[in-house]
């Protein structure tokens, strides 16, 4: 059972369009991270959200953490070819020495010029 549902799995859009990627879970996370990964490289951290309802902006990227800390979204405005890559959400759960980071399946984004 996938604990963190990420959608869509694949997305191909034209330059200039907007898009939203969703991550949903029935579990509560203490924090949630978004990463972007290019082929042949490791994931690069984009943002960490911690507080329910939190919104963070990174240039054309807007990240939101749900009020109940069970879901998150990534919105990209006016996508550019350089935004192409695999976007991963990952939810952290910790309790004492028990720490776990659960990844979504990823969204493979292609922005066509």
Task: Answer for the pair 25, 91: CB distance below 8 angstroms, yes or no.
Answer: yes
d(CA 42, CA 63): 21
Nearer to other proteins, 45 or 55 (CB): 45
DSSP for residue 30:
S
Closer to other proteins by CB, 79 or 89: give it.
Answer: 89
In the list 23, 43, 70, 72, the residue contacting other proteins (rule: CB under 8 A) is 43
- Residues, the chain: 113
Of residues 23, 24, 72, 33, the one with CA closest to residue 52: 72
Token couple for 108: 């493979």
Is 106 a residue that touches other proteins (CB under 8 A)?
A: yes
User: Binding string, 57-86, against other proteins, x = CB under 8 A?
Assistant: -----------------------------x
Residue 91 token pair = 């939810």
The distance of closest approach from Cβ of residue 78 to other proteins in the complex, given in angstroms and rounded to an integer, is 25
List interacting residues with other proteins (CB under 8 A): 30-31, 33, 35, 40-45, 48, 50, 86, 88, 90, 92, 94, 99, 101, 103-106, 108
């Amino acid at each position: 059972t996938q604990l963190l549902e990420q959608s869509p799995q694949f997305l191909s859009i034209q330059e200039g369009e907007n898009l939203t990627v969703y991550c949903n879970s029935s579990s509560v996370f203490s924090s949630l991270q978004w990463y972007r990964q290019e082929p042949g490289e490791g994931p690069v951290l984009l943002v960490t959200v911690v507080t329910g309802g939190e919104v963070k902006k990174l240039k054309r990227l807007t990240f939101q953490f749900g009020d109940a800390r069970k879901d998150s979204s990534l919105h990209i405005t006016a996508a550019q070819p350089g935004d192409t890559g695999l976007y991963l959400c990952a939810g952290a759960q910790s309790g004492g020495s028990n720490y776990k980071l659960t990844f979504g399946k990823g969204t493979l984004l292609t922005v066509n010029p």
